[in-house]
Structure 1
Amino acid sequence: MLSRFKCLHSLNLSGSRVRELLSSIGKLKHLRYLDLSYNADIKKLPTSLTRLRNLQTLDLSGCGINELPRDIEKMVSLRHLIDKCDDLIIMPCNLGLLTNLQTLPLFKVGRSNGSTFQKNCELSELNGLNSLRGKLTIKNLEHMEKATTPTLAILEAKQYLQSLKLKWEPIDDNVVSDDRGEVRIDEILLEGLKPHPNLKRLSIFCFGGVKLSSWLSSITNLTSINLVDCERCQHIPPLEQLPYLKILSLRGLHDLEYVSDQGMDSSSCTPSTTFYQSLKELKLTDCSKLLGWWRRDKDNDDDGEMTWLIELPSFPCLSKLTINGCPKLTSMPLYPSLEELYLEDTSSKPLQQTMKLVTGVAVAPSTSSCFLVPLSRLKSMSIECVWDLEVLPEEGVKKLTALTDLKIVSCPTLFQLFRGIGHLISLQNIIIRDCHDFFDEDNYDMQWQGLRSLCCLRLSGLPAMESPPLGLLQHLVIWDCHNLLVLPE
């Protein structure tokens, strides 16, 4: 039937349960748009597809295809090859001859055969594709057994690329010797994959090197950096001066002790308006050795600690902070402008540092404008498995006037909520769970009566609590509180 439509320009077979694309598709010489997406039963494309010299868009998203046509370079008009196929094994030979190609979401580096790469899957196939734009993911970089910086400058000319993901699969240590001694192949390879400065979003997965490339801090248009499961990484280049960086996520960097290599003490640490001036979201996840943002020369006593806090830079625009699985982290830049805070399996000390300045005890006059009403924008606070949380400072709590949701779970040393809770005029929901020492011994019922917005209170796993503090509630849940004696009238 299709072979009769010889003048057909557009064909959409998306999600039509097609099991096989017949060779007669090659007769549609005028076809410019072909959508085969979400037909998981299509495993192979007919070689006749390469006869479609006028085809500009080929959409294979969600298909089961494991190989592209071998002679794909004959499709000289192809501009958009949307090949988000998880089953795709190798990339075709001469893909780099499609110089009009603008869309190529996925490129998989082929596995080497002994000391020689299979010709149809060399990373160098990307060399001629300088019109690529939008998103590009390069997978299986661990297959690059030989990597030298001069021969890998394949991304720097791609000025239209907006988003880049570089993915390795975890393997055993892979090192090569050169004039400088043993250098990880991953580090050499990453050095040669420097993108164009116009790039906006960069993600690096399972990089096996100890040190990230210095070019990371020179891609000045970056708005998002995501480092995932780079388990051996110990050094990150300076990122604080990237003017447009809005999102920074570090996950699974198990050998990282400090985000910044530069040491900082009370003599060198000064507030700076250029310190991550655009950063809005920060995630630190599963960084088990992370101690702090900077390396400190020495420990201070209480007075020295307070002086050091005064001079700490703060994130001026940070609105969302997530710290999860960083149990050793005790020092952070301050974050007075937060709207959302999520702490889990970490120390409460960074939070205490910011809240200490909320009290106004030690704010230097020259920087007081930075801390006029810190945390006054905070709307949501979730604290889970924070082992050293006993109580939050009362004066700091009074500034949390925008807080609507509060969640505290599995904090073993929490013995009471916090004084000043009556100032939380916007608070609507409270969850306190599995805090075995929680006991509201001073009975703050009068303060709780001031929580005019409080609608829901959930208390569970609080064996030491005898009487819950209650305000004006619409919804109350009490569960697994064995010593509960009485409910207020």
Structure 2
Amino acid sequence: MLGNLQVLKVNRCGQLKKLPKDIIKLVNLRCLEVGGCYNLVGMPRGLRQLTSLQSLSCFKLGEKDGDFADLNELNQLIINLRGGLAIEELQNATSKPTLSNLKAAQHIQSLEFYWTAFGFGESQYDDLVLESLEPHQNLKYLVIDGFQGMRIPNWLSTLRNLIGIQITHCYYCRHLPALDQLPSLKRLSLLTAVEYISDASYTMSMSFFPSLEELEILTCTNLKGWWRRDDGDIMQLKDLPAFPCLSNLYIDDCPNLTSMPLCSSLEDLTIYGSSLKPLEKMMSNVPSSTPSISAGLLSRLKSLRISYPDTLDLLTEEYDKQWEALTSLRSVELSVLHELVSLPKGFQRVTSLQSLKIWFCDNLTVLTEGMHLQYLEIKECPQLLEKWWKQYGC
């Protein structure tokens, strides 16, 4: 009865399980939004009849034996779609999916691919499914989440207009395509099972991630380094590539990561539950062919957060002098360092340091003297507080 309806939004209808079958009669419908309908079990068969559709926020694949639209139906609609599209429950795709029109869908700016069959092991079909989902060259944002195949297709490295890439919860993915030459890429987030970001050997390049500003490496417990070659050999090289624009680096739960490219523009660094080796090597001023980089790799660093590190070597006397090179460092947060007894004396050398937060350092008893802080926050450091109580009575 709503034959002239052009826009239908049912976002965040948590109890909605199915769209009405007669929705396919809304032939004038241009916009259909079903984002946040987490209990939706699929899209109605016959959806291809909505030939006026220009905006579809989410297409959810139903069970293979159910009465739901499949990727063939989406293939008939996708040419006219614009903006962003999320394709969910891709574990329900057939072994020979057909979404060939996606490569010609030039008006789609953002794509999100989701699999949710976690814990069922590597899928023999996921590699084929993802290979078939090659988008148009105009794509700017891509999310691949829950993929259970072993290899991200090489078409990813050809999308030269990509601004953001998120590859997360891909617990069986062992291989990534080359991403370092993507000219527009600004944000990259990874959570995979890879041992190395690049399978190729290290080669010097003048355009190494030329636009990358933000990098997240999350729970990559197998990750050892950036290049698949001996780490010792890499660090012997005179000329290491550097991220020219990287300002924000977030590393979480990567205990085996011991080497990284240089980060000459870094302003914000967070390391949680991971090895401090990459930071230690950058603070040791690895030789470089670029004088400005050799003079101080982390001279632009403003904020540093360290929690659950594998070792405390960076906070020992050996690195006291290296802290002096961090001439822009303003804020330091140290948390859950159970073996830390005293802060490094090198903090005295960081004249720019204004804010220091220390949380859950059970055995800390000594603070560094001579710091000119404007803000100091201490939580759950019982040894230090007990010492102060005895010394100052407060």
TM superposition shift of 1:101: 1.2
Q: 272, 281, 287: which is aligned to 1:363?
A: 287
CA contact 1:319–1:339 (8 Å) conserved in 2: yes
Aligned to 2:106: 159
Instruction: Tell me which amino acid in the other structure corresponds to 2:258.
Output: T
Instruction: Tell me which amino acid in the other structure corresponds to 1:368.
Output: P
Instruction: Tell me which amino acid in the other structure corresponds to 2:293.
Output: C
1:331-376 CA distances to partner (integer Å, 9 max, x unpaired)?
111212122111111111000111111xxxx534x32133444323
1:280 aligns with 2:218: no
Closer, same or farther: CA 191–323 of 1 in aligned 2, 3 Å:
same
* Alpha-carbon distance in structure 2 between the residues aligned to 1:306 and 1:156: 41
Q: Scaled by the length of structure 2, what TM-score is found?
A: 0.89
Aligned to 2:376: 456
Aligned residues: 387
* Residue pairs, 1:284-303, within 5 angstroms: 284-297=217-230, 300=232
* Residue pairs, 1:64-83, within 5 angstroms: 64-83=15-34
1:91 aligns with 2:43: yes
1:351 aligns with 2:300: no
TM superposition shift of 1:163: 1.1
Closer, same or farther: CA 368–122 of 1 in aligned 2, 3 Å:
same
Larger relative contact order (C-alpha < 8 A, sep ≥ 6)? 2
CA contact 2:239–2:287 (8 Å) conserved in 1: no
* Residue pairs, 1:236-275, within 5 angstroms: 236-251=176-191, 253=192, 255-264=193-202, 269-270=203-204, 272-275=205-208
List gaps (5 residues or longer) in structure 1. Answer: 1-25, 27-51, 176-183, 466-477
Query: Alignment identity in percent?
Result: 39
Q: 67, 71, 74: which is aligned to 1:123?
A: 71
* Alpha-carbon distance in structure 2 between the residues aligned to 1:402 and 1:334: 17
CA contact 1:387–1:411 (8 Å) conserved in 2: no
Instruction: Tell me which amino acid in the other structure corresponds to 2:287.
Output: V
List gaps (5 residues or longer) in structure 2. Answer: none
TM superposition shift of 1:188: 0.4
* Alpha-carbon distance in structure 1 between the residues aligned to 2:16 and 2:235: 61
1:374-421 CA distances to partner (integer Å, 9 max, x unpaired)?
323322211001121234523432232332221112234545433342
* Alpha-carbon distance in structure 2 between the residues aligned to 1:168 and 1:419: 49
1:315 aligns with 2:243: yes
Closer, same or farther: CA 385–126 of 1 in aligned 2, 3 Å:
same
Closer, same or farther: CA 413–315 of 1 in aligned 2, 3 Å:
farther
Q: Scaled by the length of structure 1, what TM-score is found?
A: 0.73
TM superposition shift of 1:242: 0.7
Aligned to 2:313: 390
Closer, same or farther: CA 296–439 of 1 in aligned 2, 3 Å:
farther
1:116-152 CA distances to partner (integer Å, 9 max, x unpaired)?
xx453211111122121111111111112x3226x33
RMSD: 2.5
* Residue pairs, 1:88-487, within 5 angstroms: 88-113=40-65, 118=66, 120-129=68-77, 130-144=79-93, 146-148=94-96, 151-170=98-117, 172-173=120-121, 184-251=124-191, 253=192, 255-264=193-202, 269-270=203-204, 272-297=205-230, 300=232, 307-308=236-237, 310-357=238-285, 363-364=287-288, 366-392=289-315, 393-435=319-361, 438=364, 440=366, 444-445=368-369, 447-448=370-371, 451=372, 453-458=373-378, 460-461=380-381, 463=383, 478=385, 481=386, 485-487=390-392
Closer, same or farther: CA 382–444 of 1 in aligned 2, 3 Å:
closer
Instruction: Tell me which amino acid in the other structure corresponds to 1:72.
Output: I
Instruction: Tell me which amino acid in the other structure corresponds to 2:282.
Output: T
Q: Larger Cα Rg: Structure 1 or Structure 2?
A: 1
* Alpha-carbon distance in structure 2 between the residues aligned to 1:482 and 1:394: 24
**Could you say what secondary structure the match of 1:127 adopts?**
helix
Closer, same or farther: CA 333–190 of 1 in aligned 2, 3 Å:
same
CA contact 1:336–1:354 (8 Å) conserved in 2: no
